[in-house]
Structure 1
Amino acid sequence: MEAVCSSQLQDLPTDPLLHILSYLHCRDLVSCSYVCRRLNELSKHNPLWKRLCNQHWLLTEPDSALSWYELFVQTYSDLGRYVDVYSTLKKNWDQLKQFLHQRCPRIISSLKGGALEEDLDAVETQIGLKLPDDYRCSCRIHNGQKLVIPGLMGSMSLSNHYRSEVLLDVETAAGGFQTRPGMKTCLPLTFCFHTGLSQYMHLGEEGEEGRERGELFYPCPNQRASDPSAIDMFITGSSFLSWFTSYVQNVVSGDFPIIRDQIFRYVHDKSCVATTDDITVSVSTSFLPELSSVHPPHYFFTYRISISMSSSAPSDFSCQLDSRFWKITTSDGKVEEVQGPGVVGEFPVMTPGKVHEYASCTTFSTSSEEMEGHYTFHRLKNKEDVFQVSIPRFHMECPPFRRSTSQV
């Protein structure tokens, strides 16, 4: 006990004021240095700045030529305006790159280096508006990617429909800056060569054309409006930082599947798994804004289903899928039942250890929908041995949307 207490005492700073200073933000610590000579001396304490270097700049190795205080100041002189967001964005980029190196080498090779402050200043002069600091900071780390496929911000493939969104560099984004009615002061962040789809960030005044400053969205023309500038929106983020952080976490956690070296933006709810005997069915879903609209209400979803048979199942349990049954419930309480042969024209045979995956789609006119059902199989050994396999209930809900402020 005495040894523990002694060790703990040794870890405490010799001056109690140092313990208090260790809780301060870097700006407050600098302010303390102007109070008096004693605080000026203590505020330069090297361990204090080592912690701040790690906290804000993720620096863990000292520079032999500089103290931690000097290293912090040197870094701050370049990145100081981003001190509150840099560490989060840098961690996101580092996690994403580590994942891409292992799973998506084509994407990692397409990333561009960081932009310079003068590059970002020049873009602001060009468009006549300030860029949000979180977006600027991300561009300082990596200025988007080359205009190649696959795109960093995810792909989607369904029948003859394909989408892959690249993260635009800031110069290309500035070239697509919108000044037309309905899309005033909106900067494109992503772009798809195949669909022309972009996610935009609003840079104008709060409430201008019904948008919040820094808000990210997919534009959606209001097909019922007489004014062609009436643009509804599917909202994808309240800020660049929250949008990018959410995306990266979905990628690195494995929630988005990697298919043929591409990130597919299917969202998998871990509760959407059902096992019947030796067969497991799991479901993930994705919303397609480019095929959807708010007015008229038309929401397009694709869902990806994985059917797998346990590798420990007996070989005589091998079976073939014959038909499917769906129970579909919309948010207004309407129920529809659908049944038919096979799945997307296929009748997969399941053997121990086999996994069969397929994608299909659905559209609905309400903001959310639930689907559940079952597959009917027969054993290969005995066609009369027919059984059902449950499909778990899964929920599809379109992103938040906002109607255009233009007159209809």
Structure 2
Amino acid sequence: MAPYDGLHSCSFVSRRLNQLSGHNPLWRSLCSRYWLLTDADRGAGAPSWRALFRQYYLEWGRYLRHYAVLKTSWETLKTFLSQRCPRMIASLKDGAKEEELDSIETQIGFKLPEDYRCSYRLHNGQKLVVPGLMGSMALSNHYRSEDLLDVETAAGGFQQRKGMRQCLPLTFCFHTGLSQYLALEATEGRNLSDIFYHCPDQLAQDPSAIDMFITGTSFSDWFTTYVNNVVTGEYPIIRDQIFRYVREQQCVATTGDLSVTVSTAFLPELSSVHPPHFFFTYRIRIEMSSSASPDAACQLDSRYWKITKGNGEEEEVRGPGVVGEYPVMMPGKVHEYASCTTFSTTSEHMEGHYTFHRLANKEEVFNVLIPRFHMVCPPFRKSVVRSQGSTNDRSWLNDDDSDGDHGDFRGINLGDGAQCPRHV
């Protein structure tokens, strides 16, 4: 029983319970816990805390389990982005009304999850603009920026075709057509409220053979995790856009005055489960300490990589420069670039070193460590068609069948030190 219902019912049992149920400090704590209200929100001459709780309960009571979490996430995100990404804040739409959400449910013939409804009562997605609120990614000839769809647009993209039945799009990218979907029913290998990128089985003749990269198990889980990654700086902001790179906590190596940091990102739109082909981009930051001596100035000559796949196979790669460049490092200088790799196993890690020479003495050559960084494919589910042994299905490729495409890329500046890679 909800707090308001229970306490309100108690008030009719006896005079003493009636007095207790009206205890103002109790209602104040409930207002703070469930509706995040403070003394400033109540203001002078406002109704009692009990009346204020009832006021909010009448409007938001069905979302009692979700309101505080989602309201906090929205407010935290807006505060964080207000100075960094003002265009995104301006693109947010006001919350939808209850009757609008009820109408959408009637239109599609399915109930919307309560946490989804609660979030859309707070903000009805965003206007369809770029950059998208749900993050971006850029390569030289490939760009993705995902908008958080308003509920009306989402309903227009509701899927009932075989392989994607009862799935509501949450995000959309104008450039790639990529969407993340929310499952409104447990069917075709999905759990209720799963959030995923769909991935057609490229070797199947049946178009309903859809694999899924799972990005969340509920709307609340999906949204709050994303917000946390943004506000903690896990995802860097580059020129008014959120880039969905992730850095392991210990993924930094320091050699003398130079430090190297690596972050990675999985690109589902360039990946497939069948055949197994997983595409990652990685972003490397090389920095020389501002306290270094001017005599420490140096230039990068070459790179060395040791690549270990999930099946234990190792590969070594050597080459001149990075993305066709030979950066000069001086005290306080930062150089960043991006590159990428594809592989056929579900995980891989890379490590290595750069070779530099001192500008003051070209004979002085030394190596700078690159920390080990891991690339792990997100959870995925195989298509029901293939899992059930469709006659149209072909066998999996072996993990040994990697195309070995571990390449450096020639960079195009994205601004603020970021690099957009181009395959050489």
Q: TM-score range by the shorter chain?
A: over 0.9
Question: Is the partner of 2:77 in helix, strand or coil?
Answer: helix
Question: Is the partner of 1:200 in helix, strand or coil?
Answer: strand
- Which of residues 77, 83, 91 in structure 2 aligns to 1:110? 91
**Alignment-mate amino acid for residue 235 of structure 2:** F
Deviation at residue 25 of structure 1 after TM alignment: 4.3
- Which of residues 199, 203, 214 in structure 1 aligns to 2:180? 199
Identity, % of aligned positions: 70
**Alignment-mate amino acid for residue 332 of structure 2:** G
Deviation at residue 36 of structure 1 after TM alignment: 3.0
Question: Is the partner of 1:157 in helix, strand or coil?
Answer: strand
State how far apart, in whole Å, the 2-side matches of 1:235 and 1:35 are. 50
Given the alignment of the two structures, is residue 273 of structure 1 paired with residue 252 of structure 2, yes or no?
yes
Given the alignment of the two structures, is residue 143 of structure 1 paired with residue 124 of structure 2, yes or no?
yes
What TM-score do you get using the length of structure 1 for normalisation? 0.92
Structure 1 match to 2:102: 121
Structure 2 match to 1:39: 17
- Which of residues 39, 58, 75 in structure 2 aligns to 1:94? 75
Deviation at residue 41 of structure 1 after TM alignment: 2.0
State how 1:294-373 maps to structure 2 within 5 Å. 294-373=273-352
- Which of residues 157, 160, 173 in structure 2 aligns to 1:179? 160
Question: Is the partner of 1:271 in helix, strand or coil?
Answer: coil
Deviation at residue 268 of structure 1 after TM alignment: 1.1
- Which of residues 160, 167, 190 in structure 1 aligns to 2:148? 167
RMSD (Å), alpha carbons: 1.1
State how far apart, in whole Å, the 2-side matches of 1:161 and 1:223 are. 20
Given the alignment of the two structures, is residue 62 of structure 1 paired with residue 42 of structure 2, yes or no?
yes
Given the alignment of the two structures, is residue 219 of structure 1 paired with residue 211 of structure 2, yes or no?
no
Q: What runs of 5+ residues in structure 1 fail to find an aligned partner?
A: 1-23
State how far apart, in whole Å, the 2-side matches of 1:130 and 1:86 are. 18
State how far apart, in whole Å, the 1-side matches of 2:98 and 2:378 are. 34
Deviations 1:38-63 (A, max 9, x none): 21221111111111111111111225
1:274 and 1:391 in contact (8 A); partners too: yes
1:328 and 1:369 in contact (8 A); partners too: yes
Question: Is the partner of 1:123 in helix, strand or coil?
Answer: helix
Deviation at residue 102 of structure 1 after TM alignment: 1.8
Q: What runs of 5+ residues in structure 2 fail to find an aligned partner?
A: 394-424
1:222 and 1:231 in contact (8 A); partners too: yes
State how far apart, in whole Å, the 1-side matches of 2:312 and 2:25 are. 62
Structure 1 match to 2:414: none
1:188 and 1:201 in contact (8 A); partners too: yes
State how far apart, in whole Å, the 2-side matches of 1:35 and 1:211 are. 47
Structure 1 match to 2:234: 255
Question: Is the partner of 2:251 in helix, strand or coil?
Answer: strand
2:216 and 2:222 in contact (8 A); partners too: yes
**Alignment-mate amino acid for residue 123 of structure 2:** H
Question: Is the partner of 2:182 in helix, strand or coil?
Answer: strand
Given the alignment of the two structures, is residue 383 of structure 1 paired with residue 362 of structure 2, yes or no?
yes
1:124 and 1:130 in contact (8 A); partners too: yes
State how far apart, in whole Å, the 1-side matches of 2:122 and 2:172 are. 20
Question: Is the partner of 1:217 in helix, strand or coil?
Answer: strand
1:26 and 1:52 in contact (8 A); partners too: no
What TM-score do you get using the length of structure 2 for normalisation? 0.89
Structure 2 match to 1:19: none
Moved over 4 A (4+): 24-27
When the two structures are aligned, how many residues end up with a matched partner? 383
2:4 and 2:54 in contact (8 A); partners too: no
Question: Is the partner of 1:356 in helix, strand or coil?
Answer: strand
Task: Label 1:340 to 1:27 Cα distance change in 2 as closer, same or farther (>3 A).
Answer: farther
Structure 2 match to 1:14: none
2:193 and 2:217 in contact (8 A); partners too: yes
- Which of residues 360, 374, 384 in structure 2 aligns to 1:395? 374
Structure 2 match to 1:7: none
